[in-house]
Amino acid sequence: MSIALRLALHLPRDAATVPMARRLLDQALRTLGVEPGCRDDIGLILTEACANVIEHALDTDDYEISIDITDVRCVIHVVNDGSVIDPARLILATEMTDRELAAMDLAVLDEHGRGLHIIRALADELYLTPATSGGLVLQAVTTLRWTSDAEIWQRR
């Protein structure tokens, strides 16, 4: 047996939307039986991705979140139609090796410069691509870990 769940949100670019989106996602993951630590990681990924839109996508009034959950993984897409990001910054955020990240002086990054690095550390895969209408698409993929109560989702 397998599952497929999709959450789709179209939200105003307002900080109040971030905890609401995180609670919706957490409730879905909890209901399905995802382990608490895995839910926390996925929630932080979503929070950081949304916070990046709130903080940096100043040229847009709204943003979209779509979350696809299967019996194997959770895929988060956060899309904004704001200004196009410099591709060099995207490469820095997504292609640094773990060794380069560990050696990096995090004091150089201010409090608002760590979001993509946090997402990269928690997600199994992270992709940042230009949106077709401008702006940015963030895709984060995380493998799900299930509680023992959720074994029905693991039967095939």
Question: Where along the chain do its domains lie?
Answer: 4-154
Sheet of strand 125-130, all strands in order from the earlier edge strand to the far edge:
4-12, 62-70, 73-80, 136-143, 125-130
Rounded to a whole number, what is the distance in angstroms from the first to the last CA of the chain? Answer: 5
4-154 has which CATH code?
3.30.565.10
| Per-position pLDDT tens, the chain of length 156 | 688 999 999 999 999 999 999 999 999 999 999 999 999 999 999 999 999 999 888 888 999 999 999 999 999 999 998 765 655 555 555 555 555 555 544 544 445 557 888 999 999 999 988 888 788 899 999 999 999 888 655 544
- Contact in structure between 46 and 25 (CB atoms under 8 Å): yes
